[in-house]
Amino acid sequence: MLEVLLVLCSVTLLAVVVFSVLLYKKIRRTHSRSMDEMQRWVVSSLTSIETRLRYQAELPPTGNDDVVIVVSRDRSALLSACVRSIHHYEPSATIIVVDPGSADETSAVLEELRRSGVVRIVIAHAPNTVAQWQKGYGIHEAWRVAALLHPRSMTVFDDDMLLQEPMLSDCRELCDRQDVDVVALQRDATQVKNHPSVGIIEHKAQRVDIGTSFNGAAFYLPWKTLTAWGPPPYNEGKRESGVEDWYYSRALASSNGRVAFLPRVVEQQGVVSLRDAQH
């Protein structure tokens, strides 16, 4: 009788051991599968975010932010005057400054502007770590950040431009009601010669030139244009700088698009433009 009980106990113990081993393997497989699924989900999410940042078709829907981008290097006084003029006339705009590696006091100036609420976001590089004055590269960097803000527009300013009056309301109205793709904010004799008018429209009792190309010193892009054409390329052309106006002008020409020129909105500070100064 005792022998029978010992046999039964042994069999029962063996069965428990076998069952425990099988259960452990099942749990491990399930856990592994769950971890694989979690890893796939994380990778998929990160890939989706990266795609959203890199390709215009995947960018988030338009929101309420109006983003203004300024790229500046080693011109802290001009930069300060530029962004302060923008903040004065458009205090609700989100100003993003890209510094591609200044060696002057730009860093300290930007920190003061950020603390005072004039500049919201600063993207700064150490000297000689990125292309020194490559505006298209700076716009690309700011574009990636701006995409996360769900903006409804993006305006690009050279650091030697001063805003003279509010602009965003007029720019939105021109794009929404006048079928305009870009609004250029600089219109002087040189721009009239280089970018002639192909038509005229009336806007708030003033005549506004319509063209198919423009200068990139200061311009406004609604989100519909950004999602259609994306950010400008960089490393283009001989000078590798300021190619954003070439890019968007070609896009305008190829799509029968239109740029409106708002006169007297900006004024250039009395200096040589940075693009001309570099070449």
Q: Domain segments of the chain: what residues?
A: 60-277
| CA-wise closest residue to 158 among 35, 272, 36 | 272
Contact 140, 53 (CB under 8 A): no
CB atoms within 10 A of CB 195: 21
Contact 155, 69 (CB under 8 A): yes
pTM across the whole model: 0.73
Contact 217, 183 (CB under 8 A): no
pLDDT at residue 202 is higher than 90? no
Residue range 60-277 forms a domain whose CATH class is alpha beta
pLDDT at residue 1 is higher than 70? no
pLDDT at res. 54: 35
Q: Average of pLDDT values for 200-220?
A: 89
Place of tokens 């009980």: 5
Rounded Cα distance between 279 and 276, Å, is: 5
**pLDDT tens readout for residues 106-123:** 999 999 999 999 999 998
How do strand 65-71 and strand 151-158 relate by DSSP bridges?
parallel
How far are the Cα atoms of 45, 138, 198, 203, 258 from residue 209, in angstroms, in the given order? 45, 29, 8, 10, 10
Query: CA torsion, points 142, 262, 114, 108, in degrees to nearest 10?
Result: 90
**pLDDT tens readout for residues 56-108:** 334 445 567 899 999 998 999 999 999 999 999 999 999 999 988 888 999 99
Greater model confidence, 141 or 156: 156
Rounded Cα distance between 56 and 164, Å, is: 31
pLDDT at res. 51: 34
Contact 260, 198 (CB under 8 A): no
pLDDT at residue 237 is higher than 50? no
Percent of the chain with pLDDT over 70: 68
Greater model confidence, 17 or 66: 66
pLDDT at res. 265: 87
pLDDT at res. 41: 38
CB atoms within 10 A of CB 91: 10
Greater model confidence, 28 or 17: 17
pLDDT at residue 127 is higher than 70? yes
pLDDT at residue 55 is higher than 70? no
pLDDT at residue 23 is higher than 60? no
Give the mean pLDDT of the chain: 77
Rounded Cα distance between 136 and 245, Å, is: 10
pLDDT at residue 44 is higher than 80? no
Amino acid at 195: H
Q: Average of pLDDT values for 236-245?
A: 55
Greater model confidence, 3 or 111: 111
Amino acid at 206: Q
